Structure 1
Amino acid sequence: MPKAAAHVSSNPSRLVHTLSGLGVAATAAPRKGFADKLAELIDLSGAIALSESLRGLKRIKAVETEAQGDAQALFMDRRAEMIEAISASFTLDPDAMSSSPAGFILPSPNADTFSDDAAGYAPYQRFYALHQSEMDHRVISLRGLLRKQLAARSEALAQLAVLDTMMETTLSDYSRRSLAALPKLLAQHFFALRRAQQAADADAGQPSNAEHWLADGGWLHLFHQDMQTLLLAELALRLQPLQGLLEALNSEHEDTP
């Protein structure tokens, strides 16, 4: 099975480029300013709650806590753990289940994989959704730790930590709904690869088998590679807000005598 790269790019368009490369990208949205795009994502009740919270932002003070660890090292270690959780799950070896950091591995192909749309893709949709749940939990935990470091550093960063909490709460539903569409888009790629193999089988006059599908260059092998690439692109997207917090911490540290 393919192994994940050790580096996760922070390119904001990486996920879009990945979807485009798979042939399942949606039509590009018209260019708009940040404020305009943000306003479209927040309903009236959310806007009111956010406005009320912003009014009290200046009253937020730094919180005295015990000495915190190295935020950069913390981020890099946790990110590496998330990459490894994705990488290690891309195996069909049942003995690897007990040692998989994610706690699950790829589903094994069966007759439905090649013959039934709903039943054939369902195990892969569950596999992807499990990874999304795992990423969500790990990213939220790491984001909270970085906020604690912000809150202890200075008044300005404490206010940034509160602001980040507000924005995460306000946009969390939209974010989850948007990311939940990814395994559905990935299904289109799965079906396209499978149709190509079915056509090749028809031309050859004989059916292929799972061993052939999983060999290098086989349609299911390619699908596994592309699914892993998409998961890594999603992880990079999920980590962008945290990278912003980390940059704020590093920036203040560099500017402080």
Structure 2
Amino acid sequence: MTRDLPRPNFHSSQLIRCLAELDLLEGAEPAGDFADELGQWMHFTDAIALSSVLESGMAKVPAQSPALREATGARLVAEFERIRAFMVNSITKSCAPTGGNTAIKLPLPLEPEVSYAPYRRFYEAHQRDMELSVEPLRVNLRAALAQASPRLRKLAELDVVMEKFLRERESRLLARVPRLLQKRFDAQYAAHQEQLAASGQPDNPASWMHPGGWLARFCQTLQTLLLAEAELRLQPSAGLLEAFNQQKDHE
């Protein structure tokens, strides 16, 4: 028995909802028809590659025993959960003030200069880490699907083509997130300065990361967006894994 995985929603990912709630989406347009939008993203060479896969016949795949399918399914679920746990733990530990021994270190506040640049680099380092974690998982899932059945082999082939022409657009859009986040950083620091001016109290950078401090609240927002992006990056793999389990359950 495998656990149910979260179903992806093209127009309502957790990342988009978080950005919208933080008022960080600039010039967002209402969601249109998925097929129409997908067609606008595709170059004619992408359309040719996709058409070629869709029109090709079903390749023969040697039948697998129920025991082998069950073992493969368990292995794939374990690998998916391991990668997801690694990404979540890496984000949550590094975003904590006392993150301990983490590969990506949360920047310490520097005074008198308050700069967003270290936090942008921190976010981008996690993005690179997530990409390196997800890519081999997706490759392994495709390999398993290609050996499971003719239909799943076709799905794996389609996933290869879809990733190729969506990757550049996805990279450009996700690269905007740490830049959009600067708006939140600047607004919270400005609000902190206004509060100090109104109260007449001196600033104390040592308290910025205390519970309720402006920088602690910003780092919580940063963590929320990183976790939402991790979920988004895992969605294609989650879809492949769900397809494998559905095929297995229906046979």
- Cα distance between partner residues in 1 of 2:191 and 2:169: 35
1:88 aligns with 2:83: no
In structure 2, the partner of 1:166 is 161
Letter in 2 for 1:138: S
In structure 2, the partner of 1:187 is 182
| Contact 1:50 1:166 (8 Å CA) reproduced | yes
- Cα distance between partner residues in 2 of 1:63 and 1:233: 39
| Contact 1:212 1:218 (8 Å CA) reproduced | yes
The CA deviation at 1:112 is 5.4
Deviations 1:79-102 (A, max 9, x none): 1111111112124448x2xx32xx
Report SS of the residue matched to 1:153: coil
In structure 1, the partner of 2:77 is 72
In structure 2, the partner of 1:3 is none
Segments of structure 1 that go 5 or more residues without pairing to the other structure are 1-7, 115-119
- Identify if the C-alpha distance between structure 1 residues 22 and 31 changes in structure 2 by more than 3 Å, giving closer, same or farther: closer
| Contact 1:92 1:107 (8 Å CA) reproduced | no
Report SS of the residue matched to 1:214: coil
CA RMSD between the two structures: 2.3
1:139 aligns with 2:134: yes
- Cα distance between partner residues in 1 of 2:98 and 2:55: 55
Pairing partner for 1:221 from 216, 220, 238: 216
1:178 aligns with 2:177: no
- Cα distance between partner residues in 2 of 1:251 and 1:54: 21
- Cα distance between partner residues in 2 of 1:11 and 1:207: 48
In structure 1, the partner of 2:46 is 46
Report SS of the residue matched to 2:116: helix
- Identify if the C-alpha distance between structure 1 residues 50 and 199 changes in structure 2 by more than 3 Å, giving closer, same or farther: same
Sequence identity of aligned pairs in percent? 40
- Cα distance between partner residues in 1 of 2:62 and 2:130: 28
Segments of structure 2 that go 5 or more residues without pairing to the other structure are none
The CA deviation at 1:224 is 0.4
Pairing partner for 2:232 from 237, 241, 252: 237
In structure 2, the partner of 1:117 is none
The CA deviation at 1:43 is 2.1
Give the stretch that moved more between structures: 69-78 or 244-253.
69-78
User: With structure 2 as the length reference, what TM-score do the two structures score?
Assistant: 0.86
The CA deviation at 1:177 is 0.3
